[in-house]
Structure 1
């Protein structure tokens, strides 16, 4: 007599995979959402091209941006000079490509310094509170009272003979921009430090440094990343404004703002030397703002 043994039910592979998966985190959920946002994909591609242009400009143009010939000044675009020549006879296309490096470097370094200075001071103020918080908060109010571009213009014009122009722009923008990041980090840390996991870590004997950098910082970092991404485009535009006013990047260095400033006097006769760097500047600023908006939507659960 044959007996049949019932085979044990097989669990679904998909269900088994879910059981083995690690629990989702804010960052993994954010990355999952970002990859499906057209605004993020488009801005990331644009930023990737711009970064490649800044790191390796000779990949896009082999013409020396400082090789100028007055005899062909304001020459119209041609096969050898796609954007034509400017008022000094320099190749506009090559200068536009090479200008990306200084403009983006200024934006990136200023953003990093603002995030580090404002973030650390904001975390310290929120963690220790009392007098430390009061002093730093009053200090930020003083900086908020100073108009941004006007203050940067004053700093840059005062020290432009003592400091390299690119470094001076970075310092000027950093000095006046850290208070916003300070307030954002301070608010995030105040919210996070009352959470149960921080109270438990403190009860287990965690010191101030461990509490701040192992527990508070990772949970307060998201809003700082969002504002820093948007600020990057803002700082690039601010550099262009300072260079346009004559106190930013100085020749022989090149930036989009300096190119716009050099071309403005003959704009009606030769508009292209101004239009092309202005278009590249606008695209760069727009790309970083789009990226910041996409990151904000992905990191804020209320906007999902």
Structure 2
């Protein structure tokens, strides 16, 4: 019994220990990619760009879903109807050779997207790996890689690709010559981004802890540094993709890109510019599709950049 006399000791009631709450096993700590995906789903720009890109990809893979005319068949071209205005069977009209402009625009998406996506992926792989190695090892490795990168940076992209394309035009590589040319001149930017991200990340505590536990260089680079330095590289690759598509159009316009009988938007623009004042539609339609495609990938890259950068949220 507790003493309630004045000055007597007061005994506090016994504390009842509450059992700890069980943590749900399904709950996982939020990561950068989870937060970024949650943020992207609320961005109208991301949704709009993804819808446009999805339509373009379907158009490139299954062009017959959008047009029943085969533009590679010479019988579908009628020279007597050259530069004909849009009609019921030909919504975009006909080009300077009497070919259906709508079908050529639809089928031209394939080469433009293949060149843009392939160049962006290859440039990201080459620049990313070199930047990872240079940033991790530093010293002479970093110095040599940085000097080589500066040499490639000094070469104007279009001029260098024009020189490579004109030199190896008869090699039979087709559109892959354009991919190789743009890749050789497009990887230095990715190298710098990856190198800077690795230099920043390798001084973090998780890298020091991995070294203390005996992890080798390869494990630290690919298991610890690469996932934490990959976000800016993805952003740069996405934004550069639109630029590579525009560069392919410029090379085709200059005569060293995609060549007939292949079809691309840049080649269509080059063919149509000779008679633009007489018939502007053969140039306007592929130019609009090209502009929308480049804009969609740039919008996608901007949205991904804003989502992956906590300072911009």
TM-score of the two chains, using structure 1 as the length reference: 0.93
Identify the residue that residue 25 of structure 1 maps to in structure 2.
31
Cα deviation per residue 1:37-96 (whole Å; 9 max; x = unaligned)? Answer: 011010010000000101110010010113311111111111111100000011000000
1:174-213 equivalences under 5 Å are 174-213=183-222
2:12 corresponds in structure 1 to none
Tell me the equivalent position of 2:142: 133
1:107-186 → structure 2 map (5 Å cutoff): 107-186=116-195
For residues 288 and 82 of structure 1, what CA distance do their matches in structure 2 show? 26
User: 1:206, 1:16 → 2: CA distance?
Assistant: 34
Query: What is aligned with 1:12?
Result: none
> Any idea what SS the aligned residue of 1:33 has?
helix
| Alignment of 1:267 onto 2:276 | yes
Q: For residue 295 of structure 1, what is the aligned residue in structure 2?
A: 304
Task: Write the distance in 2 (CA, Å) between the matches of 1:18 and 1:243.
Answer: 58
Structure 2 residue 231 is matched with structure 1 residue 225:
no
Match of residue 79 from structure 2:
70
Change (3 A) 1:96 1:16: farther
What's the offset of the Cα at 1:18? Answer: 7.9
Confirm or deny that 1:283 pairs with 2:292.
yes
Structure 1 residue 39 and structure 2 residue 45: aligned?
Answer: yes
Shift of 1:288: 0.2
Q: Counterpart of 2:113? A: 104
CA distance in 2, matches of 1:265, 1:196: 62
Query: 2 CA distance for matches of 1:157 and 1:126?
Result: 35
> How big is each residue's C-alpha offset from its partner over 1:198-227, in whole Å with a ceiling of 9 and x where there is no partner?
110111111111111100000000000000
Which runs of 5 or more residues in structure 1 are unaligned?
Answer: 1-8, 10-14
Task: Provide the aligned length of Structure 1 versus Structure 2.
Answer: 292
Extract structure 1 runs of 4+ deviating beyond 4 A.
15-20
SS in 1 for 2:28: coil
Q: Does 1:52 align with 2:58?
A: yes
Q: Kindly report the root-mean-square deviation, in angstroms, between the aligned alpha carbons of the 2 structures.
A: 1.6
What do residues 153-185 of structure 1 show as CA deviations (whole Å, max 9, x unaligned)? Answer: 111111111142301100000000101000000
Would the alpha carbon gap of residues 149 and 16 (structure 1) be closer, same or farther in structure 2, given more than 3 Å must change?
Answer: farther
CA distance in 1, matches of 2:277, 2:22: 69
Residue segments in structure 2 that go unaligned for 5+ positions in a row = 1-17
Cα distance in 1 between the residues matched to 2:26 and 2:242? 41
Q: Quick one: distance in 2 between partners of 1:20 and 1:49? A: 36
TM-score by length of 2: 0.91
